[in-house]
Every structure is written in C-alpha cells, then in structure tokens.
Amino acid sequence: MDKVNILLVDDQPAKLLSYEVILEELGENLIKAGSAREALEHLLRNEIAVVLTDVSMPELDGFELAAMIREHPRFQRTAIIFVSAIHLTDPDRLRGYAAGAVDYLPVPLVPELMRAKVKVFAELYRKTRELEKLNSELERRVAERTAEIALANARLEQRVEERTREREEALAQVHEMQKMESLGQLTGGVAHDFNNLLMAVLGNLELLKKRLPENPALNRLVDGAITGAERGASLTKRMLAFARRQELKPATVQLSSLVEGMEDMLRRSLGPTINIEADVSASLPPVLVDPHQFELALLNLALNARDAMPQGGRLTIAAHQEEGNVLVPGLSSGEYVSILITDSGIGMDEATLKRATEPFFTTKGVGKGTGLGLPMVHGLVAQSGGAMRIASQVGHGTSIRLWLPVDRTGATPQSSVPEARARTTISVNVLVVDDDPLISSSTAAMLDDLGHVVTEAISAAGALEILRGGSNIELVVTDHAMPHMTGLELARIIREEWPWIPVILASGYADLLSTDTASLPRLAKPYHQSELATCIATVLEAQKVVPIDAARRAYRNGACA
C-alpha cells in the first residue's frame, strides 16, 4: 500500500518533534514545516493528504494558512486539522471551519486521538485516489478499445469500397447491425470487468461509511466517492444495455398506463418551454418489455429531444399496432406495437444520423453526454425482440420509431416494477465463491457486517472441497463467470449432492441466462449491501416458511431474481 504525505506545521521545533513521534506509528510520510510560508512551499511541491497545523504562529496564523490553502484549486479538498493550546471560543471554531478546517485537536495532545483522526483522513485520501485511478483506467481502456474498433472499421470499410460502390439501403443496415454486434460484444466485456471493480469499490465504501465517526465533512467526502462509483455503475449498465447483455425482467406492460404515469415526470424534466403531446390508446394490446428499463429509455429519448430544442418546441409520443415488417432488419414477422417519439428540434445531418447509435459518439459538449443514450435504447428494444429506426433532417426535427412485440400470454399488465419488500434475516454460514480476490473479500466483508459467518473459495473446485469436507454451509453465493467450472455448473452439483443448500448466482451478463440459471436466485453486479441482504432474506424466508419440496420449487422459480 502506497504511503501518503502528512504535512506537520508548527513554529516550535519541540512540538513538531512530538507530532512526529506520535504519528510515526502510522507508517506514512511525515513532512515538517516551521512556518506557514514553508508549509505552502511543501504543498506546491508534494501531494499532501492531511495538513496538521498549529493555530498560533508568527507571520501567518493557522486560520490564514488554511484560507490560503483552500484558495488553491489543488487543495480545496485537502483535510486540515488544527492543533490549539488556547481555549477556542465558538466564534473561533466557526472561523476555523469557515477557513477550511475539518477537525480540531486540543492541547495537551492525546496521542491515540491524534493518530486516530489523522489515520481516518489519510485512509479516506488513499481510497479517493484509488477510486480516481479506477475511473481513469476505465476511461483509458474504453478509449483504447474504441480506437481499436475505429481502426478495424476503417479497414473494413476500405475493403468494401474497393469491391463495390453500390453501400443499397437494406445491405447498409445489415452491415451496421453486424458492426454494432461486434462492438457490443467488446463493450460488454469491458463493462463486465468494470462491474467487478465497481462491485468492490461500492462495497468497501459502504462499509467505510458505517465505520466513520459522525462528521459532516467526512460524510460528504465518502458520499461523493459513492456517487462517483454509482455513476460508473450506471455507465457500465448503459454499456451492457447497448451490448444487449443486461439482465432484463420482461413483464406484460400496458403502454398507455406507462406513458400516462410518466407524463408529470417528463414535464418537470423538459421544462415549461416544451409542449408534450401523448397519443397512446388504452385499446392497444400489451407489450412484453422490462417496464423499468423502458421507462428509462423513454426518459432518455425525451431528454435528448429537450437538448435538441434549446428554444422550446413540441415532443410527441404516439403508438399504434402493426405487423412485423421483414424489410426491417432484426424484426421478425409477428404482431408489434410501434411507438413514435418525434421532436421539433434542430435535427441531425446525414453524417451525424449515420453515427447516432454508435457508442460513445455524442454531439454534446464535454461532460454533458456519454454517447450511450441512443445505443442503450437500441440495445434494449433489440434484446426485447423489437427494433429501432431513426429519421432526421436538419431544421425539421427527429423521429425515433420503436417496435415492441405484442404479449398474448394473457398476463395482468403492469406499468412499473414493484418495490422489493424489506426483510430481516438470521445469521447463517455462507460460502462465497469468486475467482477474483477483490470481489470475494468485498462480498465477504458485506456479509460479515450483516452478521453472517463467511467462508471463501477462489474456485468452484475449492468450493466443492469445502462442502465435501463436512463444513456446515447453509448458503452459497457464487460468481458465474469462472474458469474451469462456472457458477451454474457448481450450482448443478450442489443441487444433486446437497439439495437443501440454496445457491445465489451473481452475474452482470444477461446472455448467460438460460433455463437453468432462471431457476436460481440471482444478483446483478454491482449490487449494494442492502440488495445482498434482501436476496439472502428472500431465500432463507422461503426455506424457513415452506416445506423443503416447495422451497426447492421457489428456488427454481428464481425467488429474488
């Protein structure tokens, strides 16, 4: 683990020496400064995690030093702890916090208290830097893969142009689908890898937040890190949606009810300058789609339309029933509901329209778009058995048509995903199986925090060895994508040899689902501790309340999928 720099500031050498003696047990790099001016020089030359400074100093006191540190963009989040031998009044403390202090240490110093406070801020700095490195690595790998794909596509297009100049509309669409499929597979692989990394980051940050002392400044820093990790998780979910490898929960949906339920949210999101017109008849047959994901898709399209109408305009959502058109690549013959979303915005030129569903392509400014909105919608409808087409003209707006298959099963329609019931659980012996030690330790830590007894295995073979060794395992949580033996294969063996032990399958891949995986409770990565607790409680509740044969049937129906 890399050491971090801690800056000690005091004009009295004896006090600096005492700080050094107390803090040397932390094993970090201690940098000493005898004045505020010298401290500023060290800050400009080094990356500083924590500043420990005396309040009363000649030239510049601690308050003035803290204010100067906070004025520099590099040090706006650097933790500053004041040491004061003078009894500070409340106005003095408020002045210190306004200047940027995060904590105070009174004199005489209590060594254990000083070490504990400095250690908390040093660890928080280290975790923040680790998260920044993960985000940077994600951006680097995405850029690298995108560049490779761009080069491959350029070579492919050059070969096609050499052989024929005829690029007919149907053939062009087929080529585009093949390109998106190839790109989707690659994007899905990247998203899966970073789902695992974000799984560990989120789990550890949640546990760290529980253990931090009550301090608003610390909570803001940790909440910021959690928000960044959740945004990364949201990004990978969009990548999986484009790659058609997200886990969907299709249901029978009445589109008129779903759109009506979204109208207030859409109006608040689009603002008063955009008029929304909805023409979705209640007589339309229900469709089969994941309602939550489709709501997100409609919201995404509406927000894109808002950005295309900076001066205001009109957004229309209409739907009608039609037969599948075999001339639309990817759409099989059958019954569909066609949804048309039209705006009166600035429209797209031919070059932009051609790349509209290409992942990471965006016409928005830096930080205003990921370039995954339309690809996500395209991936969702394709994975749901439908299709998407875009028509646009500069100055005349954009129309996006979605086809979704009609559901003739007779199931009761729903327009939103029901919220999971809160459940409590008991302590059980849990076997965690994952070939990635980072994920395994994070999951184990979350389970331990929930009060369970945890055993870890780094492979399916290792898990079987533990089970056959006579251990009192009551529940198995296993990753699916593991070498030599997958989580599904492990679950089959457990079902044969220990049918009373429930198995929860953790995965972020939708294309790994089959008839067998659908029979298992599943967790979609990355998951929060609360989601893990709810899934375990569901499994144990089924095991406790119903007879064993019925419990097995509940597991086969995917109790917490």
- Extract the tokens encoding 9: 């500031």
Q: Would residue 416 count as lying in a domain?
A: no
Task: Give the CATH number for residue 263.
Answer: 3.30.565.10
Structural domain ending residue among the three candidates 77, 109, 141: 109
Say if strands 287-289 and 251-253 run parallel, antiparallel, or are unpaired. Answer: antiparallel
Q: Would residue 63 count as lying in a domain?
A: yes
Per-residue pLDDT of 462-511, as tens digits, reads: 999 999 998 889 999 999 888 899 999 999 999 999 998 999 998 766 44
Average the pLDDT over each of 48-52, 220-224, 445-449 and give the range with the smallest value.
220-224
Task: Give the CATH number for residue 464.
Answer: 3.40.50.2300
Q: Would residue 74 count as lying in a domain?
A: yes
- Separation between Cα atoms, residue 30 and residue 109, nearest integer Å: 18
The span from the first CA to the last CA of the chain, in angstroms, equals: 38
Q: Residues 18, 88: one domain?
A: yes
pLDDT at 24: 92
User: Buried b / exposed e across 272-283, counting CB within 10 Å, b at 16+?
Assistant: eebebeeebeee
| Greatest mean pLDDT range, 141-150, 497-506, 534-543 | 497-506
Average the pLDDT over each of 90-99, 172-181, 377-386, 434-443 and give the range with the smallest value.
172-181
| pLDDT classification of 244: cutoffs 50, 70, 90 | very low
Q: Residues 461, 331: one domain?
A: no
Per-residue pLDDT of 412-429, as tens digits, reads: 665 444 444 444 558 899
Q: Would residue 455 count as lying in a domain?
A: yes
Q: Residues 218, 169: one domain?
A: yes
- With vertex at residue 150, the alpha carbon angle to CA 148 and CA 154, rounded to the nearest 5 degrees, is 120
Structural domain ending residue among the three candidates 242, 259, 285: 242
Q: Residues 262, 370: one domain?
A: yes
Q: Residues 58, 97: one domain?
A: yes
Q: Residues 462, 550: one domain?
A: yes
Question: The sheet that has 103-106: what strands, in order across it?
Answer: 29-33, 5-9, 48-54, 79-84, 103-106
Q: Residues 258, 359: one domain?
A: yes
pLDDT at 164 over 80: no
Q: Residues 101, 128: one domain?
A: no
Rounded average pLDDT over 199-228:
77
C-alpha to C-alpha distances, 330 to 176, 178, 222, 386, 392, nearest whole angstrom? 11, 11, 45, 7, 21
- Extract the tokens encoding 26: 């932390």
| Greatest mean pLDDT range, 20-29, 284-293, 515-524 | 20-29
Q: Residues 263, 206: one domain?
A: no
Q: Residues 130, 59: one domain?
A: no
- Separation between Cα atoms, residue 380 and residue 292, nearest integer Å: 11
pLDDT at 398: 93
Residue 261 sits at φ, ψ, to 5 deg, of -70, -20
Q: Would residue 420 count as lying in a domain?
A: no
Q: Residues 401, 256: one domain?
A: yes
Compute the mean pLDDT over every residue in the chain, rounded to the nearest whole number.
Answer: 79
Q: Residues 94, 142: one domain?
A: no
Residue 9, domain extent: 5-109
- Separation between Cα atoms, residue 315 and residue 160, nearest integer Å: 39
How many domains does the chain fold into? 4
The larger pLDDT score, comparing residue 90 to residue 481, is at: 481
Q: Would residue 198 count as lying in a domain?
A: yes
Q: Would residue 260 count as lying in a domain?
A: yes
pLDDT at 559: 42
Q: Helices 548-556 and 529-545, interaxial angle, to 10°?
A: 140
- Separation between Cα atoms, residue 145 and residue 141, nearest integer Å: 6
Q: Would residue 290 count as lying in a domain?
A: yes
pLDDT at 285: 92
Structural domain ending residue among the three candidates 371, 405, 439: 405
Helices and strands, counts by H and E, the chain: 16, 17
Nearest to 474 by CA among 458, 455, 449: 455
